[in-house]
Amino acid sequence: MTTLLRSYCLAIEFFVRIIGRSVAWFVPILSLVVAFEVFARYVLNSPTIWAYDLSLFLFAYIAALGGAYAQQKNAHINVDIFYLKVSERTRRFFNMLTYLLAMYFMFVLIKVGLDQLEQTIKFNYRRQSEWAPPMHHFWVMIITAGGLMMLQLSAQWVSDCYGLITGNDLISQPESDE
């Protein structure tokens, strides 16, 4: 059973790491889009109709799809004044409660995202701008990001649950990969 749980957690962590690192490549693309818009607007005096919308979409993709990777790296905010003063066992319990609450929120986000995607496709919603790009990809990204975060939270929940029951770590601390 331990091997199965460890394999589940490691597979999810690998998948989230690949997505997180892949999405990081959007940052230089976003920088180039913004730099080009500044150049076109102020040097050529000819602003684009697409750069603003594209930069919004890229930033949303980076933030949403990078959220699960940030969770994996423990980069989200924590109330250290309480968290660091309690035992490891109590921390695991706090984590498990927090993960369940976050998974519920992700479930709601996915449900709303699916409803919005259905409406977006049905009515061909577009961004209200001069370029007017379609919005369906945005809702697919929201659904994907929610699912990815839910998977990461579930792996961490399983790991902390295992640690709470056995007193041992399911997965050794991750090595630095930066």
Residue 86's pLDDT band (cuts 50, 70, 90) = confident
Encode 39-89 in three state secondary structure: HHHHCCCCCCCCHHHHHHHHHHHHHHHCHHHHHHCCCCCCCHHHHCCCCHH
CB-based contact 65:19 (threshold 8 Å): yes
pTM: 0.87
Spans of all domains in the chain: 2-166
Q: Which tens digit of pLDDT belongs to each residue from 37-58?
A: 999 999 999 999 999 999 999 9
Residues pairing with 134 in the sheet: 126
Task: State yes or no: pLDDT of 176 exceeds 90.
Answer: no
Radius of gyration, alpha carbons of the chain:
20
Q: Which tens digit of pLDDT belongs to each residue from 62-83?
A: 999 999 999 999 887 777 788 7
